[in-house]
Structure 1
Amino acid sequence: MLDQLQTFIAPKLRSVLKVLSIGPFHKKRIVFFSYFGAQYSCNPKYISEYMQAHYPEYDIVWAFNNPEQFRYLHKKNIKLVKYLSLPFLRTCLTSKYIITNSEIPSWFPVMKRQVYINTWHGGGAYKKVGASYNKETAGKQTRAALARRIPCTYISSSKAFSDLTIRQSFQHTGKILSCGMPRNDILVNQDHPELIQKIRTFYHLPEDSHILLYAPTYRASKAASDYAFDFRQVKTALEDRFGGSWFFLLRMHYFVLNQLGKSSEYIDASQYPDMQELLYASDILVTDYSSSMWDFALTNKPCFLYASDLDHYDLKRGFYSDIHSWPFPLAESGSELIQNIHSFNEETYLKDVRKHFTDLGSYETGHACEKTARYIVSGKL
């Protein structure tokens, strides 16, 4: 009943809220929000910073659930507004550009005179999303379909993402900016070595140490402890195969991060504000089904998959392609993970990664921010 009511109200509320568009229209103002107002991160952050550096005549506004936590952005000449508040809606409706990395609510009004850019928050084409993932209620699916009808331009990381995710799963028939993910420019170009020192300093790591970043996806059926593997044995395997001393950074979903207890075996990096900086500074990534594997592979550094619930996840969620065809060594148990580390072949891995990018039709060139900014300024794809 609640689903039906929300679905009924959404288009009517959208019409009512358009009254907030009355007044001066700012043709050079951009409103950003990331992960529904939770963070200053991901593709919107990198587009925002590029625009400020190269097109300072544009006004930048960021929306947050808790804007008081981001007051430091005032020093960057960024205006703040509370996400989903009336001032936020009015600011959005009187601004030429809206940029986010997730779907906006189905009741959210976007005017024809505006440019709405959805960067999304994952590259490649791995676990199913949107209409391809049919586990939501009928009402939620209907509201998602309504939201997707709002005219927007999607940013795409690859041809596979355009075809399978944007066109098929999001049922988007509008514009696609095929330029790669802006947040990945630093991973492609590898021109920010100071980020490595930044992470080492932040977590008090020795200069000559190595970092393994463990970043699993969220599953409602799993507690934080369910994601763990034998850190000591994995550390020994890393020392045997790659040498040096190793430290583990854990990046858990915010739904379960409060469940993490303190441990001498790993460092909780769940609340570090920028995942791309962690990827840049890490020597190895271990994940399961996260599209961070796409991002990290751009660095040519080893990525391992640890998927202890693969059969259940594949049955419940599903993938766009067979996970066994991906270039990342796959383990369904801790012992397999250790074996994959010991037997890792860099030459084979790099060959498989290059083929993977070719097969998926990668658009990543390290110039995504530049191309997105050019689109904002010129209106041309």
Structure 2
Amino acid sequence: MDVGCNPGYIAKKLSVQHPDLKSVWLLSKNHEGHNGNWINYGGGGFVGKCFALASAKVVVFNTLNSMAGWPKKKGQIWIQTGHGSFGIKKIGLDLGNKRKQKILREAKRTNIFLSNSEFETKVFSSGFRFKPKQIIEIGHARSDVFFDDFLKHSLKKEICKKYGFEGKKLLLFAPTHSDGDVEFIEKINVQEILEALKIRFGGNWVFGMRLHPRTRNKIKRSKRSLSNLTSECVIDLSGHSDMQELLVSSDAMITDYSSGIFDFLLTKRPCFFHLEEQMRENLKGTLYFDFFETPIPTSFNSDALVDNIKKFDEKHFLAEVDAFLDDAGSFEDGRAAEHASDIIHGLTKGVSVARLRLQYKRTKNLEGYASSRPIQKEMTGEKRLSPKETQSVEMHVEVAE
């Protein structure tokens, strides 16, 4: 498993800002290869995982209920980053989750939840019963890439070269997993979609397909060929682990209701909801808001999707995106990994969660942070840790099989 999502981006920033801290990435299986010399792999097997968790000062994780069954040592700090966004799908207790006791147990022992918006703060307060004193609102580390023009350009160039579509525009088709997802994908008319994109936006387009791991497993078990997705203009991106790299490299996006599209909104590029009417019916009672309450054009049949693409109104879309992000109370500003790294560093130096929360407390108009001088003063004058004294910061991510 490659390093990614919010913990991965935090770990990389830690290696730059605070190299005295050792980041260890836990794996469910032994890992061959690595993403760079800034990460250390550990936890290969149950014993390795136990040792890594027992020795860590700070544990960072992004999946819910992944830590509920693990003991927490005295003085250890748990940080939950989440892996959604301004997501439409209800989560946790808001969905009537049967694992209520596990959810409450993990939430109670979690010291910090890093939120990306007022909306997400409310969702996790409701769905997982996080209290205000546990929440620090700094944005999502994985979304910083959308605010770095140089990194965006270099990643797009790298992805285009890697998958062989240099000089062409990329449509990212990234549906989530659901009942009937394979049948839905089989009905996608690739040629009609690409032709509509060419008519509306110009250029030559390729169809980038990134399927959910569970959907891929269904297809593999059923031995379906998906003949509609076998043409030369279709590129299978399902094996690319870092979704953010694909989002930043894409010129447009289509999904049924994957929360990834809300990250994509930060690019301000064209994106579309497309699902079947029956799928919408099945989702009743499981969404925080309706598709039509978003700035994203929505369709429930192929003709309507093509029509939405051809009639895409960029000026109206951009105004709606800005209004949506404003209503959600977005905190995204491209500095989330930097702030998360400093928070972890502060925790290893004995700074309290309460003081850190005060430092990063948002003002009502969301303009910046409170002064960091008191805490910076508290951290000054400390010697650099020797290798033997180095604190361990666990970066824990679990991927659904």
Give the shorter-chain TM-score range.
0.7 to 0.9
- The C-alpha deviation readout for 1:48-78, integer Å capped at 9, x for no partner, is 1001111111111111122323x324x5153
Aligned match of 1:311: 280
- What is the CA-CA distance between 1:83 and the residue it aligns to? 5.6
Distance in 2, Cα, partners of 1:61 & 1:321: 38
Q: Does 1:257 align with 2:257?
A: no
1:184-223 map, 5 Å: 184-192=143-151, 193-207=153-167, 209-219=168-178, 221-223=179-181
- Is this contact kept in 1: 2:175–2:255, CA < 8 A? yes
- What is the CA-CA distance between 1:148 and the residue it aligns to? 2.2
Given the two structures, how large is their TM-score scaled by the length of structure 1?
Answer: 0.84
- What is the CA-CA distance between 1:273 and the residue it aligns to? 1.8
- Is this contact kept in 2: 1:126–1:289, CA < 8 A? yes
Aligned match of 1:236: 195
Distance in 2, Cα, partners of 1:323 & 1:83: 42
Higher relative contact order (CA 8 A, sep 6+): 2
- The counterpart of 2:54, out of the listed 93, 104, 120, is 93
Q: Does 1:339 align with 2:303?
A: no
- What is the CA-CA distance between 1:39 and the residue it aligns to? 4.2
Counterpart residue identity of residue 339, structure 1: D
- Is this contact kept in 2: 1:126–1:319, CA < 8 A? yes
Q: Which runs of 5+ in 1 are unaligned?
A: 1-37
- Is this contact kept in 2: 1:39–1:64, CA < 8 A? no
- Is this contact kept in 2: 1:177–1:372, CA < 8 A? no
- What is the CA-CA distance between 1:313 and the residue it aligns to? 3.2
Q: Does 1:153 align with 2:112?
A: yes
- The counterpart of 2:5, out of the listed 42, 48, 56, is 42
Aligned match of 2:126: 168
- Is this contact kept in 2: 1:125–1:160, CA < 8 A? no
- Is this contact kept in 1: 2:2–2:34, CA < 8 A? no
Counterpart residue identity of residue 90, structure 1: F
**Cα gap change, 1:198 to 1:340, in 2 (>3 Å):** same
Query: How many equivalent residue pairs?
Result: 335
Distance in 1, Cα, partners of 2:289 & 2:181: 27
Counterpart residue identity of residue 309, structure 2: I
**Cα gap change, 1:257 to 1:190, in 2 (>3 Å):** farther
Distance in 2, Cα, partners of 1:126 & 1:153: 23
- 1:132 partner SS: helix
Q: Does 1:278 align with 2:264?
A: no
Given the two structures, how large is their TM-score scaled by the length of structure 2?
Answer: 0.80
**Cα gap change, 1:362 to 1:83, in 2 (>3 Å):** farther
Q: Give RMSD over aligned pairs.
A: 1.8
Range with bigger deviation, 52-61 or 221-230: 221-230
**Cα gap change, 1:83 to 1:102, in 2 (>3 Å):** farther
**Identical aligned pairs, as a percentage?**
27
Q: Does 1:246 align with 2:209?
A: no
Distance in 2, Cα, partners of 1:236 & 1:152: 50
Range with bigger deviation, 340-349 or 305-314: 305-314
**Cα gap change, 1:149 to 1:361, in 2 (>3 Å):** same
Aligned match of 1:128: 90
